[in-house]
Amino acid sequence: MVFLPIVNVVLGSFGLSIFEILKGSSPKITLRGYLRFLNPSEPYLQSLFFTIYISLIATAISIVAGYFFAVYLVMKGWRISMIFTIPLFTPYVVGAFMWWTLLYPRGYISLIINGILKYLGLIRYPIPLVNDPYGIGILFGEVWIRFVTAVMMFYSPLQLISRDLTDAARVLGASTWQVIRRVYIPLTKYSLIATSAIILLATMAGVSIPLILGGSWPQFLNVMIYLDVTETFNYLSAYVSGVFYLITCAILGYIFFRFAMKRVVMQTR
């Protein structure tokens, strides 16, 4: 039962239906969907690259900001407040709509950012911060949620690092940056890899945020799948996109489990 949906997607990408096969009808294999997906003049490849590109940026921002924020909390000896974890419990759709109202042309954040940029003479016309072709809106929505996830995931491993090590570094004259670089990062590098992989996979898999905050083009591949299924009823393309999605996520998942998981466990022990 676990693999049935995946098998169905793979078969569907070749124009086959698991139910038709079970019924005994003679199936006709087609590569039309794959040819279409791989054709650079079609939107799918670009869509896949855009998905990876935006997911990587969102992950990088979340990881860097989240890591340093977690280090700051640990250094200060502060705990994570419950209020800080609100994005974790906010449904993605709600979070996305909330950001939309802040980023749309008359939203507070949009007015502030565009006002500052205009005041500085950097722009003549307001720049779109949502439903834009650069994925700015998606980045706001994704980072808002993933940043908190990253902080939560970094906080525990950072807390496990013995205070003696950082004190020793300080006694030997290390600056804060050197403590981070020489003590914290080496001792949490596998946590960094694991968290990055988890956040990247989660960002790539989500549909609500890119659907609401993304633009007409380029689109996340999962938005393309959604539109193919519910708007244009192009199941073949949806199946093929699904296969490519699965492959991409499987590669990332493999990297995560192969290189990170074992070491994370070992490090924790």
Return the residue matching tokens 């896949």.
48
Cβ(58)–Cβ(138) below 8 Å: yes
CB of 165 to another protein, least distance (A): 50
Rounded Cα distance between 156 and 80, Å, is: 10
Burial of 171 (0-12, 13-18, 19+ CB in 10 A): exposed
C-alpha radius of gyration, the chain, whole number = 22
Q: 227-235 contacts: CB < 8 A, separation 24 or more?
A: 235/12
Query: Minimum distance from CB of 20 to another protein (Å)?
Result: 9
Name the 3-class secondary structure at 214: strand
Q: How far is the CB of 215 from another protein (least distance, A)?
A: 6
Which CB atom, from 27 or from 133, has the smaller least distance to another protein? 133
196 or 208: CB nearest another protein: 208
Shorter beta-carbon distance to another protein: residue 87 or 215: 215
Distance between CA 213 and CA 92 in Å, rounded? 11
To the nearest whole angstrom, how small is the minimum distance from the Cβ of residue 209 to another protein? 12
Q: Which helix (H) or strand (E) holds 110?
A: helix 108-119
Place of tokens 């038709």: 20
* Closest CB 224 distance from another protein, rounded Å: 9
**Residue with the two structure tokens 């080496």:** 186
Least distance to another protein from the beta carbon of 43, Å?
6
Nearer to another protein, 17 or 248 (CB): 17
Residues 179, 163: Cα–Cα separation, whole Å: 11
| Contacts with another protein, residue ranges (CB under 8 A) | 19, 41-43, 46, 100, 104-106, 125, 128, 131-133, 211-212, 214-218, 227, 229-234
Q: Which is nearer to another protein, 75 or 127 (CB)?
A: 127
Nearer to another protein, 27 or 181 (CB): 27
